[in-house]
Chain A
Amino acid sequence: MTTPALQGIGLSRHYGGFAALRNVDIAVPAGEIRGLIGPNGAGKSTLIDVLSGRAGKWSGQVLMAGTDVSRHSPQMRRRHGMARSFQRTSIFPNLAVREQLELAAHHGGGVDEVLEQLKLDGLGTGPASELSYGDQRRLDLALALIGRPRVLLLDEPAAGLTVQESLDLARLLRDLVKSWGVTVLLVEHDMEVVFSICDRITVLHLGERLMEGTPDEVRRSPEVVTAYLGRSAH
């Protein structure tokens, strides 16, 4: 069995007496797009925060291609090849698009490619705060994609986008990460996006892993339907 590109072992996170994440195991093979779904409060964003080094006190172990990065800061994880986007758009509002991508690329280049792929070229030299919401969401994604990370954690990249924008983003994301061979863990509430691009899906419920399987398996799972998807998923 090959070593997963991203692995979390026994991950737990408590907020006071509330257990946001309880002993969750997750392993994502290289090149896979893994969906992470569940109702609000299931622990999806907490899991992403723990894996990316954003969370405060947590327990367990995070491995990247077998290397323990549990004690790595976010910037060290980034240098190790892990990148993430945020649920709330997180860009540099007073910097121009190219300026921030050049910073994010360090000295690695690839700015023009990402600008073109995410249709961010031609947005001028004005501050990013003047961009539309959709452009800002794509910029957030571009900041994560620049430098071709090995592991990409995406926290609701389609949040706030129209249906068409979400589907366009999903297609773009699938093509890009498949051609680059990036491993993706995707949190998304838009089930159309999740089922259309994910190879496998992990379902969280009340901070625990409810099940894991292909999109079809998840869709057919009575447990998942009861806990999250509802009857319309059938």
Chain B
Amino acid sequence: MSVQAATSLPAPAARPAAIAFGIALAAAVVGIVLPLLVASPVTLSLATQGLTNAILATSVGFLIRQSGFVSFGHATFFGMGAYVTGLLLKHTGLALEAILPLAIALPAALAFVVGLVVVRVSGVAFSMLTLAVAQVFYEIVVKWRDFAGGDDGLSVTLPPRVFGLPTTLFQEPGDMFRIVWVTLVVILFLLFLLARSRFGRLCFAIKDNEERARFIGYRTLMPRALVFAISAAIGSIGGVLFVLYNGFVSPDVLHWTMSGSALVMAIIGGAEFLIGPAIGAVVFLAAKDKLGDITEHWQAIIGFTLILVTVRWPHGLVGTIWHWIRRRGRGGRA
């Protein structure tokens, strides 16, 4: 998969970062205003759920884009974010202010350690290892009924306030939509900066030609494990927001079908573009909602769409539009 669009940019400069910051700011404002224009709380609630999925899809896409690794088990980190939040709230006296960073740091730390092993292999082997790790965590949660609630899931009661704000904000669709939207925008902006940083370029180089990267003097294991950990941290943020909103978490969020859906979202949207997986999540969930009203076999249609996108538009929706605009631009100049 090419990363041309991301890596053929000029050397790091303040201007593109400033432009990206402006776009991010505008996007954040749009997200804050949007709930005012949507009357239905159900629609807002669905959109909020969709955005947490978009964060998971972004984490999967980031991993593909930055390192070339395709994870079949990224729901692990989404689920861990949710479960760590829920379990620490239920079983410890820790304040939510302390739990939230822990719920992101623990999955990231685990991913880093696991990453030091799994990123040594590539292709299908890597994908299968991530799937195996995910299934281990799924089974632990399902079997550990006393501690994690097993199949029944885990109800989470939030304290009344966090960081001085009422936690009812997290469970009101309009407010939570704003919180998740702005979080997604901030994540995308930070990933943009990361891609343009020296570390980001090194990761692209390792993805491009790992052997050459070693022969120009770089260790290649650590950057790959770090990218895996960062992607896990992003996924766990989605999980934390998910449990804060729903006040409940079940093993479904750790299931391989969740990982599969996130991967499909990333591919449909275009994993080589920062915004692609998030767009893919919106399209996927909108299609699921609409098609679900028409037929119970909506998954078959999604499957066919995935085949079509992979074969006909391998750059995904965003990539296809991007390349179309570039072609038109070149044609216009010629």
In the assembled complex, which residues on chain A have CB atoms less than 8 Å from the CB atom of B213?
92
Known interface pairs A92-B205, A103-B201, A125-B10; 20 further A-B residue pairs with C-beta atoms within 8 A, sorted by A's residue number: A75-B215, A78-B216, A78-B217, A83-B216, A90-B209, A92-B204, A92-B213, A93-B208, A94-B8, A96-B10, A98-B11, A99-B11, A103-B198, A103-B216, A125-B9, A126-B8, A127-B2, A127-B7, A143-B212, A146-B216
> Are A83 and B209 CB-contacts (below 8 A) given A94-B2, A96-B8, A99-B7?
no
Residues 142-169 of A contacting B (Cβ, < 8 Å): 143, 146
Residue B211 is within 8 A (CB to CB) of chain A in the complex: yes
Chain A residue total in the interface (Cβ 8 A)? 29
Q: Does A75 lie within 8 Å of B8, measured CB to CB?
A: no
Residues 177-219 of B contacting A (Cβ, < 8 Å): 198, 201-202, 204-205, 207-209, 211-219
Closest to B219 in A: A75
Q: Does B202 lie within 8 Å of A103, measured CB to CB?
A: yes
In the assembled complex, which residues on chain B have CB atoms less than 8 Å from the CB atom of A143?
212, 216
B-contact bits for A80-114, CB 8 A (1 contact / 0 none): 00011010001111111011101110100000000
> Are A92 and B215 CB-contacts (below 8 A) given A99-B7, A126-B8, A127-B7?
no
Q: Does A96 lie within 8 Å of B216, measured CB to CB?
A: no
Closest to B206 in A: A92
Residue B32 is within 8 A (CB to CB) of chain A in the complex: no
In the assembled complex, which residues on chain B have CB atoms less than 8 Å from the CB atom of A106?
217
A63 CA to B7 CA, complexed, in Å: 38
Residues 6-36 of B contacting A (Cβ, < 8 Å): 7-11
> Are A125 and B205 CB-contacts (below 8 A) given A78-B216, A84-B215?
no
A95 CA to B204 CA, complexed, in Å: 8
One of B9, B10, B198, B216 near A104 (C-beta < 8 A): B216
Say what secondary structure dominates the interface of chain B: helix
A126 CA to B9 CA, complexed, in Å: 8
> Are A95 and B211 CB-contacts (below 8 A) given A104-B216, A143-B216?
no
Residue A79 is within 8 A (CB to CB) of chain B in the complex: yes
Q: Does A90 lie within 8 Å of B208, measured CB to CB?
A: no
In the assembled complex, which residues on chain B have CB atoms less than 8 Å from the CB atom of A102?
11, 201
Q: Does B212 lie within 8 Å of A92, measured CB to CB?
A: yes
In the assembled complex, which residues on chain A have CB atoms less than 8 Å from the CB atom of B2?
94, 127
Total CB contacts across the A-B interface at under 8 A: 77
Residue A52 is within 8 A (CB to CB) of chain B in the complex: yes
In the assembled complex, which residues on chain A have CB atoms less than 8 Å from the CB atom of B7?
94-96, 99, 127
Residue A181 is within 8 A (CB to CB) of chain B in the complex: no
In the assembled complex, which residues on chain B have CB atoms less than 8 Å from the CB atom of A98?
11
A residues lining the B interface (CB < 8 Å): 52, 54, 73-75, 78-79, 83-84, 86, 90-96, 98-100, 102-104, 106, 125-127, 143, 146
A94 CA to B204 CA, complexed, in Å: 8
Q: Does A74 lie within 8 Å of B8, measured CB to CB?
A: no
A125 CA to B208 CA, complexed, in Å: 17
A-contact bits for B201-243, CB 8 A (1 contact / 0 none): 1101101110111111111000000000000000000000000
Residue B4 is within 8 A (CB to CB) of chain A in the complex: yes
Q: Does B205 lie within 8 Å of A100, measured CB to CB?
A: yes
Q: Does B214 lie within 8 Å of A74, measured CB to CB?
A: yes
Residue B3 is within 8 A (CB to CB) of chain A in the complex: yes
Q: Does B216 lie within 8 Å of A94, measured CB to CB?
A: no
A51 to chain B, nearest CB (A): 12
One of A74, A94, A95, A127 near B215 (C-beta < 8 A): A74
A78 CA to B216 CA, complexed, in Å: 6
